[in-house]
Amino acid sequence: MKPKVLLTHPLLKEAMEFLAGQVNLELATEEPFLPKAELISKLKDKDGLLCFLSDQIDKEVISQAPNLKIIANCAVGVNNIDINYARSRGILVTNTPDVLTGATAELTLALILATARQIAAADRFCRQGKFKGWQIDLFLGPELSGKTLGIIGFGRIGQAVAKRAQAFNLKIIYYDLNPLSSEKEKELGVEFRPLDLLLPEADIVSIHASLTPESYHLIDREKLGLLKPNAILINVARGPIVDEKALAAALKKRKILAAGLDVYENEPEIEPELLSLENVILLPHIGSATFETRKKMCFLSIQNLLAGLRGEKPPNLVERN
């Protein structure tokens, strides 16, 4: 008999068709939000779960799924899953690393360029019929060349951002709980800084850390106060790493120049103050959204799921948050 699998939301069509041929598949909803009570009731008799970062797979959910063997997250971040509890129940948890590194780094560069040069505001300006002719001071912004990019969280994605940013002649400094060896730093052309030194030195700060109890509100009002008045803050990692209300206040009072956000504290809600500001670019969590990457994420999460259901070690087992 085929194992029973709950898929919380649709995958890309070809991946979903493939999965439907391998398992006894139930799609929970076509909507981007799945109410918890529905998730719990649909998961009750399932052997496997394929879910997304928008699904909260906590103790309450896991404890009511007695047959569950594997939770395959179609995302690299796993802050939406209570991994310790899953492990205590012998349930495997997997993610989709590597395949989204390049796409997320590319979106980071897009946000850096777009915030520096006010691309979204300039586009709105044209659409509103405000472009009356070339002007010497229209939409000025900082040039990247020669500036310093401070990267917080220097794992796969942080390093991929550094590599691409060097092509724009940006100097790279980074902060990470586990600094690299000095040989590796030399090889990559980067320098470590403690967080309190990185923030006042960087012209652009880009966040690529994972969300853990330690990184929650890592960038709060006090840390925002350390940034240069012309600083740009980019967050494509997880919203709760930044105190969103404090960021909105800093942007409103022009204590920093601009921000580019792809993630929010309470997704899909966005702090209302941010919506009214011109000096922030807001994206709907699309860091990994390239044709190529999303396809790879779908098939990698399926590969993990099927391996776990067969009782094998999945390629991307996650042991802790």
- For ligand GLV, the binding residues (CB under 6 A) are 53, 75-77, 100, 287-288
3-state SS of 215-237 is CCCCECHHHHCCCCCCCEEEECC
Backbone angles phi and psi of 73, in degrees to 5: -85, 130
Smallest CA-to-CA distance from 216 within 248, 198, 235, 243 is with 243
238 is catalytic: yes
From the candidates 26, 106, 185, 267, which is the catalytic residue?
267
Using the minimum distance from each CB to ligand GLV, give the nearer residue, 31 or 98. 98
Q: How far is the CB of 265 from ligand GLV (least distance, A)?
A: 14
- Closer CB to ligand GLV, 75 or 86, in the complex: 75
Shortest Å, Cβ 75 to ligand GLV: 3
Distance, in Å, from the CA atom of 13 to the CA atom of 149, rounded to the nearest integer, reads 39
Cα-flanking dihedrals φ and ψ of residue 57, to 5°? -100, 80
- 273's enclosing H/E stretch is helix 272-275
Q: Which is nearer to ligand GLV, 100 or 257 (CB)?
A: 100
Q: Measured from the CB atom, is 170 or 298 closer to ligand GLV? A: 298
Q: State the nearest-atom distance from the C-beta of 52 to ligand GLV, in Å.
A: 9
Shortest spacing between CB 285 and ligand GLV, in angstroms: 6
Q: How many residues does the chain have?
A: 321
127 part of the active site? no
Compute the distance between CA of residue 304 and CA of residue 315 in angstroms, rounded to an integer.
6
Catalytic residue among 9, 208, 285, 294: 285
Of the candidates 33, 32, 36, 44, the one whose C-alpha atom is nearest the C-alpha of residue 6 is: 44
Rg (CA), the chain: 21
Question: Minimal distance in Å, beta carbon 236 to ligand GLV?
Answer: 8
C-alpha torsion angle, residues 200, 204, 209, 213 (rounded to 10)? 50
For the bound state, the minimum distance from the C-beta of residue 78 to ligand GLV, rounded and expressed in Å, comes to 8
Q: Which of 9, 238, 265, 294 is catalytic?
A: 238
Per DSSP, 269 falls in state B
Q: How far apart are CA 209 and CA 153, in angstroms?
A: 4
CA distance to 64, 92, 114, 217, per residue, from 204 (Å): 45, 38, 12, 18
DSSP letter, residue 259: E
- Reference 179, options 191, 189, 188; nearest CA is 191
Toward ligand GLV, which CB reaches closer, 75 or 247?
75
Q: Which is nearer to ligand GLV, 77 or 102 (CB)?
A: 77
Positions marked catalytic: 238, 267, 285
